[in-house]
Amino acid sequence: MCRFMVYKGKDEILLSDLILNPSHSILTQSFDSRLRLDRRRPHNGDGFGIGYYTSPSLGPEPCVFTSTIPAWNCINLSRIASKTTSSLIFAHVRATTEGNLSDSNCHPFSYRSLMFMHNGGIGCWKKIKRALAMSVDEQWFGVVGGSTDSEWAFALFLDCLDKAGISPDGDVVPGIGFGHTVLRQALLQTVGRINAFIAAVVGQEEDSRSLLNFAVTDGVSVVCTRYVSSKTDEAASLFFSSGTSWKEVEPCLNSGDEERERDYVMERRDKGSDIVLVASEPLTFERDNWVTVPTNSTLTISKQTVMIHPIIDEFYSSNPAHERTSAFAQAKGQTVTGADKRVLDGSKAPYFILRMENQISRYVQSSFPLTEEVVSEA
């Protein structure tokens, strides 16, 4: 499977401080994914992509750079990342499950101001592909240039926006975008329509389960999902970290190794949050820097505020002691972690809806649709 990372900050950051330099950066994960469980294919080396937003004077569209070269072996990535800054960044390293090796199949995908990426896979994709493709309007059908299930999920997302009366072609208000609620509802509809296609075409086959860790942004707000279409299985891992600064740790005085690993830490100088990071796999080994996103939840970033909502559908359980097994995600080469961020084995482990972490000052359980919100302003 793949790995992705999202950065949303009040200020711009040098891409290399996220993508290249940290000891467990997204580039490092392309060849050394510590939490990857599929040892038959231990690398995420089937291409990569970075997408980032530039000055508003250059337009609302993101700049997207993709390549089929493994991230660890692309000198242009180092050249670009060491000289480019942005306040909203998507990064993705790919391990193919659907679609061949080509630039058009590398994430993130974009359309006007929107960017989208995926970690996981749509269940029974070859059986439902035709039904899904035929369900989207011609305009969004034509957006797909590659052959991955992920890009078709993006086309479905665009179709959901359009059918809700929000045209992806419409002019967005600078600094406001489409609004995080609109993005979240469209992403939930995307998940629901995928589940409906599978139920209609293949029924309840054992291999029809999907792993749908999505990330979407309009350049202002970000919405991510951690989701599996099962009531008994865990989803692939997803974490977030928030704080006031992302800072490189000073090396030890007695360290003379110029090739040392560069360690970063998320600092928190007050209760505010200037930076939010979301990642399939933590970028540092500081356990207290990262919070596990609960299985079958959405994570929304709006003005540096993090909101967590449960996804309430047929695979939802309101019981905090509900148990899920990690066997399915592991079989797909994915990491599965509990709320304490420890990797789970194939046995059943408690599914924690909520876990207080050191950097969270306020974390309130909510119901869907939007009434109260699970908010982290810390």
Q: What is the pLDDT of residue 81?
A: 87
Domains of the chain: 3-332 (3.60.20.10)
| Amino acid at the residue 357 | E
Interval 276-301 mean pLDDT: 89
More confident residue, 80 or 373: 80
Question: Hunting for tokens 């796999």 — which residue is that?
Answer: 281
Q: Report pTM.
A: 0.83
More confident residue, 203 or 300: 300
pLDDT, tens digit, for every residue of 154-189? Answer: 999 999 999 999 999 988 888 899 999 999 999 999
Q: What is the pLDDT of residue 173?
A: 82
Q: How far is CA 305 from each of CA 52, 183, 241, rounded to the nearest angstrom? A: 20, 15, 11
- Cβ neighbours of residue 255 under 8 Å, at least 6 residues apart? none
Q: What is the pLDDT of residue 38?
A: 44
How far is residue 58 CA from its own chain's centroid?
Answer: 26
More confident residue, 253 or 80: 80
More confident residue, 324 or 219: 219
**pLDDT at position 331 over 70:** yes
More confident residue, 40 or 153: 153
> Distance between CA 171 and CA 177 in Å, rounded?
9
Mean pLDDT for the chain overall: 80
**pLDDT at position 40 over 80:** no
Interval 50-78 mean pLDDT: 85
Interval 143-162 mean pLDDT: 96
> Where in the sequence numbering do the catalytic residues fall?
2
Interval 7-29 mean pLDDT: 82
pLDDT, tens digit, for every residue of 234-252? Answer: 999 899 999 999 888 876 5
Which of the four pLDDT bands, split at 50, 70 and 90, describes residue 75?
confident
Q: What is the pLDDT of residue 340?
A: 55
Q: What is the pLDDT of residue 338?
A: 55
Interval 124-130 mean pLDDT: 94
Q: Which two tokens stand for residue 157?
A: 């997302």
**pLDDT at position 348 over 90:** no
Q: What is the Rg, in whole angstroms, of the alpha carbon atoms belonging to the chain?
A: 19
Which of the four pLDDT bands, split at 50, 70 and 90, describes residue 346?
very low
- Cβ neighbours of residue 125 under 8 Å, at least 6 residues apart? 98, 149
More confident residue, 337 or 196: 196
